[in-house]
Amino acid sequence: MVLPGIAFMFVFTYIPIYGLVIAFKHYTITDTINGAPWVGLENFKIILGDKYFMQAVINTLGISLLKLLLGFFIPVVLAIMIYELKDGPFKKLVQTISYLPHFLSWIILGGMMISWLSTTGLMNQMLSGLGLIQQGSNHLLSANKYWMIAVLSDIWKEAGWGTILYLATMSKIDPTYYEAARIDGANKWTQIKKITLPFLMPIISLNLILNVSNLLGSNLDQTLVLMNSQNSARSEVINSYVYRMGLTQGDFSYATAVGLGISLISVILLLITNTVTKKMNDGESVIF
């Protein structure tokens, strides 16, 4: 009963890994992978001089770092706040509503965003209602706003969902800790600082490592929906670049080389962050 599974994994994961060799070849759609001529590192040399690729790297890093800086700790704070609520309808309501956006696909959310951010959309209605603007404009057509739009929409979508893991961890904290703290006169802030946060630390650092190692793997779905000709200078990310070069323009070898280079850098990032957090956590590793 295991063998069909093994065969499946061989075909759908291991054969594509082998397919990576085309990064070192000159592969065209009529070739077979084995039949294509070797070109060594030529594809990788082109990458370094490719200004569109460099632009995509800057966008990917910019958006991912902003997501990390602005978005990483919001779920932690939210989770603690939800945890501190009394059990009851309000707590349930907050949880139900905050998880919901996670289940909307980027296509759906992208469609909604195009409506919110359009000239006559919700965003401009609110801004003009507050007297902040006179005339509405389409925010998605302005390249300079794209990074912020991408980051904030991602936070909007995933912040609530991000609390689940923390809430699950906190549900395992022994309530007697809090009772003891209360008797000693500790207020909520002290309780959070001295009891809740230390409990969450391992899972927070694990999440941080996974996030950092994913810095270069920015969301393809999101980019494909929100990108347009006006904002593409700021919205093109590595994944969408690979997609365009490979599947739209048929430059398979070059696109594979880009993808392979990026995965290697991601693995290095993972190793670095793991080492750093290991040092911070007194030698206790979170992943390896």
Report in angstroms how near the CB of residue 118 gets to other proteins at its nearest: 5
Helix (H, G, I), strand (E, B) or coil at 32: coil
| Amino acid, single-letter form, for residue 143 | A
Among 242, 273, 274, 277, binds other proteins (CB under 8 A): 242
Among 46, 70, 224, 271, binds other proteins (CB under 8 A): 224
Q: Is 148 exposed, middle or buried (0-12, 13-18, 19+ CB in 10 A)?
A: middle
| Amino acid, single-letter form, for residue 42 | E
Report in angstroms how near the CB of residue 2 gets to other proteins at its nearest: 4
34-73 residues in contact with other proteins (CB under 8 A) are none
Report in angstroms how near the CB of residue 22 gets to other proteins at its nearest: 7
Rule CB under 8 A: is residue 138 a binding residue for other proteins? yes
Report in angstroms how near the CB of residue 17 gets to other proteins at its nearest: 5
Among 20, 46, 47, 276, binds other proteins (CB under 8 A): 20
167-196 residues in contact with other proteins (CB under 8 A) are 167-169, 171, 182, 185-189
88-127 residues in contact with other proteins (CB under 8 A) are 90, 93-94, 96-101, 103-105, 107-108, 110-112, 114-116, 118-122, 124-125
Query: How far is 226 from 13, CA to CA, in rounded Å?
Result: 30
Report in angstroms how near the CB of residue 18 gets to other proteins at its nearest: 7
Torsion angle of alpha carbons 65, 77, 207, 163, nearest 10°? -120
Query: How far is 192 from 201, CA to CA, in rounded Å?
Result: 12
Rule CB under 8 A: is residue 259 a binding residue for other proteins? yes
State the residue for tokens 């997501």.
67
Nearest Cα to 226, choosing from 127, 100, 158, 138?
Answer: 138
